[in-house]
Amino acid sequence: MSHGIPLRPGTAGDFDAIYELLAHVFHEDSEGFRDAEKIVLETDRSLICDDEGIVAGHATAYTRDLTVPGGVVPAAHISGVGVRATHRRRGLLTSMMRRQLTEIHEAGREPVAVLWASETTIYPRFGYGPAAARLKLFIANREVRLPAPPATPPRLRMGDPAGLIPEMSRIYDEVRTTRVGWSDRAEHWWRYLVYDPKDLRDGATRLNAVIHDSPDGPSGYALWRVKDDWNHHGPNADVLVREVVATDPAAYRELWRFLLSIDLTRKVTFRNAALDEPLQYLVDEPRRLGAVLADSLYLRLVDLPAALAARRYAAPVDVVLEVTDPLIDANTGRWRLTGGPDGATCSRTTDPADLECSVTDLGAAYLGGTSLATLAAAGRVRLLTANDPSLAFGWHRPPSATETF
């Protein structure tokens, strides 16, 4: 209950009202948006602020797995969070986020929750830390060159993305389990990914797919569309890249060669590139990639000991963490984390703490993309002894996120 407006679980019959609210909150009202939401929305995981039959607020979670350092864990993928403009500043968002975290914790299945923050000032208040970053690339594609092509031309084939889902899924799954920050994709998530109504294209072409074939079978794919443009110099179209996934460097390189050389284009835009995107080290003029740093995944530890025990650590670690969590009491206290590359345990202890932090900052460090030492330099984490676990919490590649949800 918030200001007299009760919270209740969603049902399948609430879809139309939920969609109407989301269209209002995210300024996106079209049949394409409606049908896309219908593919993935789990109304049984929705929370609704019900003001006498009006859906005044909504938050939901998607049931997916997340790759973390050294493993894969169930993770509540939080989405569809919004409050009707007529009901803002009345505590509805706080009520929904608290209730949602309580229910996820009590269910005991998902030790972490993740989200993309439309407003980055909001979610740290509820324990979500900035756990991964991304690069947005705005490439001047006629001003970059890749290494010389192989003597034997690569085998590339285009096709309808929906028809290529089985092959793309196999490639994605082979890569996903080693790429921290990537989520699993059940069949309905693939349908959502390639769903391509005209009213969601913003004037661009239909979604295209290309597969790279190696002697052992498909080894990479790319999804993209083109937004046409001409100026007084001539063709000036923009290749809008959705994702590039490859199981080996050769496939990755040739997919990018293809994307950078599409006729009548002068720009390539890729908004979900990894911080360590290999393209940066392939082109002859990396400044022409136009890289801009942006945030991506925010992560929240819901079951702290289970989450810390579920991942692996880059170096041996035996450290006592004193953690504060104002929303989930069970996470507050001192925890001894012992582990390394082969496994970990985490249990309560009364031993003196080596490090003090909030659950928000521990969430930021969880995927290995935000250093505890950097957070200490910012005054957010207190290192109380010389036993600094920063190296152990890192990983050999930074986390990335291939998709928003």
Which residues have a catalytic role annotated? 123, 405
Total residue length of the chain: 405
Kindly give, in sequence order, each residue whose CB lies less than 8 Å from that of residue 330, ignoring residues fewer than 6 positions away.
105, 303, 304
* φ and ψ at residue 66, rounded to 5 degrees: -130, 135
Going by their DSSP bridges, the two strands 355-358 and 317-324 should be labelled as parallel
Alpha-carbon distance values, 266 to 2, 146, 259, 269 (Å): 52, 16, 11, 10
Residues 289, 241: contact at Cβ < 8 Å?
no
Please, what's the b/e burial string for 39-55 (b: 16 or more CB within 10 A of its CB; e: otherwise)? ebbebebbbbbbbeebb
**Residue 285 structure tokens:** 């003029």
Order of all β-strands in the sheet with 292-295: 155-159, 208-214, 217-227, 237-246, 265-273, 133-140, 292-295
**What SS3 state is found at 113?**
strand
Q: Could you give the CA distance from residue 173 to residue 217 in angstroms, rounded to a whole number?
A: 15
